[in-house]
Chains A and B, each alone.
Chain A
Amino acid sequence: MSNNVSLEAALNNVSLLDMIVVPDDQPDIEARVLPLLYRANFDTNFEDRSAFVTGIAKYSEEATRHAQFNDMLAEGLQHAANLYTWRCCSRAVPMAKSNDQPNRTEINEMVVNVLKPEVSKLNSFMRFTLHAIQRFCEEVRRLCHSEKRKDFVSEAYLLTLGRFINMFAVLDELKNMKASIKNDFSTFRRASQFLQTMSDTQAIHDMQNLSMFLATQNKIKDDLKLQMKTIEGYEELLSDVVNICAHMYEQQLYISPNEKHMFVKVIAFSLFLMDGDAANVAKLDQKKRLSIQRLDKIFKSLEVVPLYGDMQIQPFAFVRRSSHYEANKWPLSDKESEKCHVNIVEKVHTIRSDHESYVTQFAKINNEVAISDRVGSDREHRELTSLALSGIQLLCQWSCAVVETISWKLLHPTNPKDNRECPDTAEEYERATRYNYTPAEKTALIQIIAMIKGLQSMLGKMEPEMSNATRKCVYVELQAFIQHTVNEPLQKAIKNKKDLLASILQSVKDSICDVGYELNRMTDTKSKSKKSGSKVDSANSSSSDIRIPRRTAAPGSTQLYMARTQLESLISEKLCGGKKILRKELDSKTIEKISVFLRKSAHWPALFKFSDSMTEAGELSQLWFREFYLEMTMGQRIQFPIEMSMPWILTDYILSCDEHSLIESALYQLDLYNDAAQYSLFSFNKQFLYDEVEAEVNLCFDQFVYKLSEMVFTNYKQLASSMLLDKRFKSELSRVGTIIRTPTASRFESLLQQRHVQLLGRSVDLNRVVSQRINMSLLKALDAAIWKFESEPLSSIIELDMLIEANRLCHSLLKEVLHSLAPFDDIFQEANHAVNSPHGRITLHVFWELNYDFVPNFVYNGSTHRFVRAKQFFRKTPAREKPPQVGQVYYWGSKSLMAAFMNISNGYNSCIGTQHLKAITRLLHYQGIAVILDELLKMTHRLLEEKIKRHVRNVFNMMPKVLKLPRADYGSTALLQYYCHHLDAVGKYPELKSEFCQDLRELGNMIIFCQQLEVALGQEETHDLFLAAAFIGNVPQPPSRNAQEQMKQLAKLEEKYARIHLSEVIAKNTNDEGQAIIAKEAELMTKERLCCGLNVFENFLLRIKQILANDEIWTGGYPTNGVFWIDECVEWYRVYSALQFFLCQPTRDDNEVYAE
């Protein structure tokens, strides 16, 4: 890399960056994202004033003072920040309890050490204030000097004086409000007096002064007033300040809420200051220097303004406080209204329509800029400039609406009477924020904040183009102004020998004109020889602006100031330069042009730092700051909980209200924390405040993600459940009158697509954090489903199956929007505890049910192929698990859906049939079924060996050894008698009808269960194979006339479906042979099912047979005659036949035949 890169190459490189495509396709629903902010500040604060040698000396002097005042204002602002963010230290430091506490010296030393830097801040605050008052009064005195009074004072200068007045008011109110400052100082004072470190009188004197300064309420205001009173004619100057502020306020010549509120505060405080020994305000009103009526309207339109942070004042209170206040002169402002002057709920409509029309215009121009490569025309630049300006003004208007509503609400807290939800115990701040807003107001605030932040982000994206266009436009206007407006009167003035006018006009021209002297000379000569018909001339006539070069440079801040101030002095009604009124010497057209220029250029400085102005206009950090209310709790609270914090109240409202359209503005509300953090760090310079913001954000964001995930999960769960709910069932229900609500369309998608939410300099992948939570919720839902099954009989397996299906559908819907969701089967296995143990919970519980409930207590109905619960119980089922205690959302999503599905599954509760068995096969798979069958076999074995065998042996013992077949011609009655007689002992076998029969029932249940399970499995597998057929090359035979044709058609079909024959496709498309083999094997696995080759039930029977064949008690042993037993009672069928005589007889008291 070479060390020398030419400027051109460097610029080229930068422009190449535009070519690189950096896609970031996620919906833009976040406030302006600035991972990296670059600011170039060209404001010199009049540092370069001496360069304007051609300017009138008076204004360059004024610029010097201006610079000084700006510095002082900045310092004052820092003091205000210090005062506002002051936290009580003295409450935290330990006190020496008594005079003889041994370590009191150390304690006091420590106290002094800790508080010293803070007290030194207070000292410098006091010094600054006193100095500022003095400096301000000097200035007023200078301007009010009888010689000077008629002189012109520039608008900018008056405004700076106004800012000063505002600063005094703010500092004084802050000093009054903060009791903790005084407490801290007195703690420090006590400790240092104890230590007697202050030996010299100067230090003691200083301390005394500071203590007085802090302790006296309204000290700054009163001092200022006292000093001002001594100046003759000060009220006239102040009335100028008031008038200019009123003018700015009425014409909306402000571009940030701060500025707007400052004007009103300045008016109010100035009126307070004016009111000296006499009723000056009324006098000035009579003299028409002021108009009370006009001011009255202003105060009415803005009753409450934020003073600083969360401190509010009623500006009119200053006026009311003045000693010569006359209530009847202020008919509007005198009575306080009940309602906020901003009706936010109504206002949001106009704001929205403004927003819409602005965005339309913006989009149009944005598109024009985007599609054209050429350099824009002057017209386009003008359009963009005015678009930029109106954008900032809109932002300012909307922020004002929000800030003023919040301020008014803070000053008018609710009470339990007005708001039923507000408990009696609610604390002050809670009543001012938490319970102070109606849902409609919250919605309006949320929408306005979203529009502010959204517009800010939009403007931010266009910022480079806009500032560029602004600079070009301003340059052209400036030069055109010189060419068309200044030149002509200048020539005239020179001609008529009006020296002063000419010198000022020349100075204006010299300070902003940018024509090289060559060009200048050319135009000069040209004007003399107009008829020469040169090239320049023809160009001149065709286009008026052609002589003006184009540049992308903005005038310097001092340069613009000089030009503007001098022009202002020209058209002012007052004396200029102490001699005469120049206005009279100009023609009305020029005056008009100049005033238009002045009006236009007033906003230029703000446009030059477009990015900063935009940030300031939409800055809402105020919503978070609560130092004033913290101070009011007197140390009860170190910080307020998030429920009382405005940003969270709004965010929480979005998450808990029913309006789904608000959800997209959620991230805009969180941006309020960004504002607060930014302000804490860069305006307050307070790390601790930032830490508190950060702590709250940590908490809130967790809550946000938690609530959001819950909402998302509920919504999708309800959606899945409603999708699964049978349509006819639903329509039947609605005919009956029950309506099951399908979840409304929601807009989570755009929120969930956010992969980089910027929060306090961190970048959060919202999709991922929500995914993690949803993973947990799904796991919990599946766990709840299985747990519920564990707490219920086997028949509820249908419900389990349905629940799992609902969760599966929910998962697949969620998978579309959440990208790091685990595969459903994995989650299911985890919930089923089947990951690292061979048998899942479902398998275990199925077996448990079979063992304890199904086998002993059910009977089989051969005609319906169902098992039903028997009437007689011989075995008691042990208690099952308790059902889980989880919310509706984990089952079916909502109460009504839950009821619907419960009704459906209730239909399956009273029996065990094919559906149940199919569900079992679906849920258990081969592995589970194998386990179940294996266990059933073991049970059978145990049953036969331990129980039935004993009974059979007993019965054999009771039967006669040999029982011959009687002759048939005895008649049936006699035959029955014969058998009953011989088998009498068997009939009286005590365990016959209880234990023995029960054991036989169990054996039978197990065998038939096995058979039915096989049937269900077969059906499921056939279904499976049917669905898979197309993908495994299994083509059904097409109907045809002969075999040959069929072969042909088959070949055709096979060719047709070859594209989706998976294993072949994989073999074709992969280079990895292993994969092809795996695919083949998988296909084989799919094809060769249990039902095709093997028969479970057959095997089951064979196993039982093996068990039976091992023991002679069943087979009867080898017959003595070598062929078979004839009359001897040794074989099983003899026992069973004997039992039939007694089992088939109806019981005497119970004649009914079992229904099933």
Chain B
Amino acid sequence: MNASEAVQRQLKDDWDNREFEQVLADNIKSIANFLSTFELSCRSKLATLNDKINLLERKVEFLEARVTKGDTLS
């Protein structure tokens, strides 16, 4: 009976350890998943910002060109 108990105890420990590993792995995974979605979300937002800055930049360039009247900016 003792031997059997020892085996059972070991088995239980094994299950416990595996569960612990699994919990850790799952949590790291959820961090990774979060980072992924976070990146995608940031990319969308940055793209929107980028559009606005681009337009402003274009506008500034355009106005500069208009103001200089043919002379290149030094």
Contacts and interface: CB of A to CB of B under 8 A. Distances in A.
Interface of A: 10-11, 14, 17-18, 20, 22-26, 33-38, 40, 42, 51, 53-54, 464, 467-468, 471, 510-511, 513-517, 520, 551-556, 559, 755-756, 763, 765, 767-768, 771, 819-820, 822-823, 826, 829-830, 835-838
Contacts of A768: 47, 50-51, 54
**Looking at A22, A513, A552, A838, which has the most chain B CB atoms within 10 Å of its CB?**
A22
B66 to A, nearest CB: 6
A33 B30 contact: no
Contacts of A467: 26
A24 B19 CA distance: 33
A632 to B, nearest CB: 41
A925 to B, nearest CB: 14
Nearest to A17: B34
Contacts of B35: 35-36
Contact of A38 (B28, B39, B54): B28
B44 A464 contact: no
A516 B11 CA distance: 8
Nearest to A555: B18
B54 to A, nearest CB: 5
Contact of B7 (A53, A552, A835): A53
Given A11-B23, A37-B32, A820 B54 contact: yes
A468 B59 CA distance: 53
A554 B18 contact: yes
Given A755-B44, A829-B62, 14 more contacts: A35-B39, A38-B32, A40-B28, A515-B8, A516-B9, A554-B22, A756-B44, A765-B50, A767-B51, A820-B50, A820-B51, A826-B59, A837-B69, A838-B69
B19 A756 contact: no
Given A33-B36, A516-B8, A552-B22, A24 B47 contact: no
A344 B47 CA distance: 39
Interface in B24-74: 25-41, 43-44, 47-48, 50-51, 54-55, 58-59, 62, 65-66, 68-70
A54 B5 CA distance: 12
A740 B33 CA distance: 51
A1031 B38 CA distance: 44
A513 B11 contact: yes
Contacts of B26: 464, 467-468, 552
Dominant SS at the B interface? helix
Contacts of B5: 517
Contacts of B22: 42, 471, 552-554
B8 to A, nearest CB: 5
A37 B35 CA distance: 10
B11 A22 contact: no
B15 A22 contact: no
A765 B41 CA distance: 13
Contacts of B37: 22, 24
A57 to B, nearest CB: 16
A783 to B, nearest CB: 17
Contacts of A838: 69
Contacts of A34: 36
Contacts of B39: 35-36
A826 B64 CA distance: 12
A834 to B, nearest CB: 9
A835 B65 contact: yes
B8 A17 contact: no
Given A10-B27, A820-B51, A763 B43 contact: yes
B36 A35 contact: yes
A517 B47 contact: no
Contacts of B21: 42
Contacts of A822: 55, 58
Dominant SS at the A interface? loop
B52 to A, nearest CB: 8
B55 A820 contact: yes
**Looking at B11, B22, B43, which has the most chain A CB atoms within 10 Å of its CB?**
B11
A756 B40 contact: yes
A514 B12 CA distance: 5
A54 B7 contact: yes
A915 B9 CA distance: 98
A830 to B, nearest CB: 8
A384 to B, nearest CB: 15
Give me the 5 closest cross-chain CB pairs, A-B, nearest first.
A38-B32, A553-B19, A40-B25, A22-B41, A755-B47
B18 A836 contact: no
19 contacts: A10-B27, A17-B30, A20-B34, A22-B40, A24-B37, A24-B40, A35-B40, A42-B21, A51-B10, A464-B30, A511-B11, A514-B11, A556-B14, A765-B43, A767-B51, A820-B54, A826-B62, A835-B65, A836-B65
B6 to A, nearest CB: 9
A898 B44 CA distance: 39
A768 B29 CA distance: 32
A14 B27 CA distance: 6
Contacts of B4: 510
B71 to A, nearest CB: 8
Contacts of A771: 51
A36 B36 contact: yes
A836 B70 CA distance: 5
B49 to A, nearest CB: 11
Contacts of B23: 11, 552
A24 B44 CA distance: 6
A763 to B, nearest CB: 6
Contacts of B32: 36-38
B7 A40 contact: no
A510 B69 contact: no
Given A38-B28, A553-B15, A768-B50, A26 B8 contact: no
A287 to B, nearest CB: 44
B30 A516 contact: no
Contacts of A23: 41, 44
B7 A510 contact: yes
Nearest to A16: B34
Nearest to B38: A22
A160 to B, nearest CB: 25
Contacts of A20: 34, 38
Contacts of A559: 14
A513 B69 contact: no
Contacts of B34: 17-18, 20, 22
B19 A552 contact: yes
B69 A819 contact: no
Contacts of B33: 38, 464
Nearest to B67: A836
Contact of A819 (B8, B27, B51, B59): B51
Given A517-B9, A767-B47, A820-B54, A14 B14 contact: no
B63 to A, nearest CB: 9
A18 B18 CA distance: 24
Nearest to B53: A820
Contact of A514 (B15, B36, B47): B15
B69 to A, nearest CB: 5
Contacts of A835: 62, 65-66
Contacts of A511: 11
A819 B12 contact: no
A755 B48 CA distance: 9
Contacts of B19: 551-553
Contacts of A820: 50-51, 54-55
B15 to A, nearest CB: 4
B41 A24 contact: yes
A415 B62 CA distance: 56
A838 to B, nearest CB: 7
A401 to B, nearest CB: 30
A464 B29 contact: yes
B27 A38 contact: no
Contacts of B65: 835-836
A721 B8 CA distance: 80
Contacts of B59: 823, 826
Contacts of A765: 43, 47, 50
Contacts of A26: 44
